[in-house]
Every structure is written in C-alpha cells, then in structure tokens.
Amino acid sequence: MPKLCLILGDQLSLSLSAVQMLDKDSDHIMLAELYTESHYVKHNKLKIALIFSAMRHFAQQLREAGYYVEYYAYENTKDQFSSFSDVVKHQLTQHSYEQLICTEPGEYRVIKEMQSWHHDLPIDIIIEPDNRFFFSLAQMHSWFAERKVPRMEHFYQFARKQTGLLMEDNKPLGGRFNFDKENRHAWQANTPLPPTCTHQQDKITQDVLKIVEQEFSDFPGKLERFNFAVTRQQALVALAHFISHKLPQFGQFQDALSDKNNTLFHSLIASYINIGLLLPQEVCQAAIEAYQDEKAPLNAVEGFVRQILGWREYVRGLYWHAGESYKEKNALNATTPLPSWFWTSKTQMRCVSQAISHSLDDAYAHHIQRLMIIGNFSLLAGLDVKQVCDWYLAVYIDAFEWVELPNTLGMALYADDGLLASKPYAASANYINKMGDHCASCRYNPKLVTGAKACPFNALYWDFIQRHESKFAHNPRMALMVKQWQKKDVSDQKAIVQWATSLIEKLDQV
C-alpha cells in the first residue's frame, strides 16, 4: 500500500524530511489551499497569492520529478473542507494508504491538529522533524534548557563554532564574532540604490491573482504590486540579485531608515526561506562565497549571516522552547486597542505612516521599520500585545507564527519580560531622526516633547519610562533612563505625563 504525505504551504522544499521518506513510484503527496489557513488572521492578499502560487508551482515541480500529487485547489476546497483534517480524511477515502507522513509545522495550532490525528484517523501517522534549519529542535531545546539567560549573542557564537561558518582555526574571521558597530549608518542619497529584481508572472500566478482578488477583496494588500519569486528557480535569481547588488552595502545600511526608499539594501528573501524555496544553509553559503571572492566586505557578510544563522534559528528555538503559553505573555500589561490607522496608514507621523502603508500595500517593511518604528510606537503607547502580534502575523509576506511571535511579542514589545531582549527596544524621536530622513517631511517636530507640534514618540517615550519606573530601575541597561526621568522637574514630568495621556486617549487622531 502507498504512503500519503501532506505538505503544507510553507514546506515547499524537495529536500523536506517527509518527502525524503517517500517512494516516488508508489507513494502519494497532497497539498491543499484552505479557507482556514488563509483566514486565521486577515493575511495580506500578497501573502495568500504567494503561497497559493508557490504551492501550485511546487506541485508541478513534484510531478515533473516523478511524484504522484493530489492538489486541492481553493476553488474546490472553499465550500467543502474547513481544515487540514477535513482534506486528509477525504483523501483517505479515495485510496487505501499504509501511513500518513508529515513534517512538523511552524505553529502550535497546526501541530495540535496533526497530533489529534493519532487517535482520530484510522491510519499510522508519522510527524518528521523539520530538517530545513541549521539546528534540530532537540538541539535548540537543550541549548535553551542549559542557560538561565538564553541570549541570541551567545547562541550565535555557539552556532558559528558548531557550523564552522566564518571561522578559521576555531576563531571568528576578522577576530570578532560581531561587526554590528560598523553597521549603524544612515543612508545618504549619494550611495546609489540597487536595481529592483523583477519576476515574470506566468499563467499559474495570473490565475491565482484573480482568485485572490475575487475571494479576499477586503483583505489588506495591493495585488498589482505582486513581484515575488514563486519557484525555487526564481528564488535563486532573487538570492543572486541580492548577493551582487545589495550585500556589499547590506551591513553599512542595515539599520538605516529612508523616506525615499522602503527596501534599501535588504535582501527581501525571508519569505522564500520561510516557505522553503531557499534553504538557510545555501543562503549563508552564497554570502560567504561573496566574501571569499572579495565581492563583499566582512562586516556585511557577518551581519547577514548573523540574521539567518543567529536570529532566525534562535527565535525558532525560543518559540518552541517557551511553550504555547508564550503567546499569552503581557509583562507590561499593554492593553490599549490598536488605532484604526494600523489598517489604513492614515497617521500624521510620517515614519509610521510610511512603514505601515508599505506593510499593508507591499506586505513588507524592513527590520528597523518593524522594530524601531511600528514596534517601538506600539511598545511606547502600550498597545494590546495580542492585537499587535495578530497584525504582524497578518500583514507581512514572511510572517509565520514561529518567527513572527518571538520577534513581535519578545523583541518589539518586551512582553516576555526580557526572555529575548536584555532591555526594551524603546527610543524617542531622536533615534528616528538620526537614522533617517522621515522627520524632514513630517508635521511633527522631533525636538519637541509636548504640544501640538511635538513628535508623539517623545512624550510617549518618557511616559513609558515613568509607567514602568520600578521595573526598569532594576535593569542595568535601563537604569540610566530612569535616572534621567527622575532628574526632570516635577512640573516637566507632570506636563509630559499629561500630554502622553492625552495622546493615548486619542490615538486615532495622532
């Protein structure tokens, strides 16, 4: 009897563990486009289109490679099947199978559903570990379990030593593990921007775009902006484009913000790695080869490798190690409802409006926009943690819970009480003004703290320090800011708190 293999929309790799267990000549593979998967948050239309098109192309690739594939297209599933369980049950009525094989998914919600099949389905179920990371979950669990304060920087050094990447004689290349200090430049227009990498749309993608426009018309996203790789071949082109045109400047401008350009020297490949079109190992290897061929400097290559070998692996380990209850954390009791402009981008704060409009329209914002603009505002204003996390999961092309949640709840919102970050990523307008040019065309003044012209980030920043004064006074990295707050005149403190309170009361109009 054949085996049946279920492949999810973010598992589109021929080297996937579940696929490795199959016999091409006899076993079957199934993929399903589902209403539930596209509705558990209001996903960006671009993200749904990317996933459906990449799934359809992957099915084609599997068939060309000789596999038998059952493909459940959205047009056929939407009124009939409401979950993976439903389609799997249906497929089990179509043939007799010996075993159902899956690769572990990237979310508690889905692993729980798969685990329920052990008693709900009349078939032997195998859930294989996901082999598309540098480290297995078992390795990550033991790394986290062995540490009281499991910081990314320590994990990264461990990962460099374990993999040997950018190492020579067991020492880091260039004498340091981290070249971050060289990576904090604002971008000036005299450094030319890289060209855009464009991807042709074939009939499969055009059909998907029509379906998504028809079925998800009230979801965020502008489908006319669709310019994504939907096959492994196209994703390899996107990677090569990044390596030749952006990697050399990636490090230098990694933290920069610009009013004129939304992507700067960022790679735009997170979604391709997350859905399986690219593997993290080959991506790091390509960057390291550019360094070896003297096409990119060490600070850029190290900075890039750190994001993938360091941050990406670390947040995945943290998501699974922290457990399902991580999602419920709200250490700073942040409960202010999301202002309506999170869904329209109509705020007068130029930096926030730009970051949100790109997030909604293009399903993309770079790391500093996510962390220091939208995340920072959410942190300072005490926006509801669950609402913010759901927003991030919905709008970004690369958002899957295992990677989105630690980044949003832990890194941006400090809602895990410092499990991920040693201090909150909180900053006033001064930081935003230093790292970019948004303030020059904003109606608010970054130097003012109170009053109608004052940038809201300033009063909200001090009010945030004040609201959490007792907690932050014990954090060595925050104590200085608490002292600065305490040194302010009582009348200034009162005016700042009053102004911040009035801003929070009318966030929709800020």
SS (H, E, C) 8-50: CCCCCCCCCHHHHCCCCCCCEEEEECCHHHHHCCCCCHHHHHH
Q: Is 44 in the site for ligand FAD (CB under 6 A)?
A: no
Instruction: Look up residue 254 and give its two tokens.
Output: 């990694």
Choose the contact partner of 411 out of ligand DLZ, ligand FAD, none; CB within 5 to 8 A by kind: ligand FAD
Task: Closer to ligand FAD by CB, 16 or 284: give it.
Answer: 284
- Please choose which of ligand FAD, ligand DLZ, none residue 57 contacts, taking the beta carbon within 5 to 8 angstroms, the exact cut-off set by kind: none
CB 62 within 8 A of CB 203: no
According to DSSP, residue 173 is labeled: G
Q: Does 178 bind ligand FAD (CB under 6 A)?
A: no
Interactions with ligand DLZ, residue window 16-55 (CB under 6 A):
32-34, 37-38, 43, 48, 51
Please report where in the chains the tokens 């594939």 appear, as a residue.
Answer: 69
* 415 vs 384: CA distance, rounded Å: 10
Contacted entry of ligand DLZ, ligand FAD, none for residue 90, CB cut-off 5 to 8 Å set by kind? none
Query: What residue 10 binds from ligand DLZ, ligand FAD, none (CB within 5 to 8 A, per partner kind)?
Result: ligand DLZ
CB of 413 to ligand FAD, least distance (A): 8
Complex with ligand DLZ: residue 30 or 429, whichever CB lies closer:
30
Interface residue with ligand FAD, options 32, 270, 331, 478 (CB under 6 A): 270
Q: Which two tokens stand for residue 286?
A: 């390509």
CA–CA separation, 17 and 132 (whole Å): 8
Site string for ligand FAD, 319-358 (x = CB under 6 A): ----------------------------------------
Q: Label each residue of 318-329 as H, E or C.
A: HHHHHCHHHHHC
Residue 318 engages ligand FAD in binding (rule: CB under 6 A)? no
The span of 56-64, 391-399, 433-441, 485-493 binding ligand FAD (CB under 6 A) equals 391-399
Who contacts 255 (Cβ-Cβ below 8 Å, separation ≥6)?
183, 184, 185, 368, 435
Percentages helix, strand, coil for the chain (3-state, rounded to 5) are 55, 5, 40
The answer to whether residues 30 and 91 touch, using CB atoms and an 8 Å cutoff, is yes
Q: Encoding tokens for residue 211?
A: 């379906």
Binding site for ligand DLZ (CB under 6 A): 8-10, 32-34, 37-38, 43, 48, 51, 105-107, 110, 400
Binding site for ligand FAD (CB under 6 A): 266-270, 273-274, 304, 307-308, 311-312, 315, 366-367, 370-371, 375, 392, 396, 398-399, 403-404, 407-408, 411-412
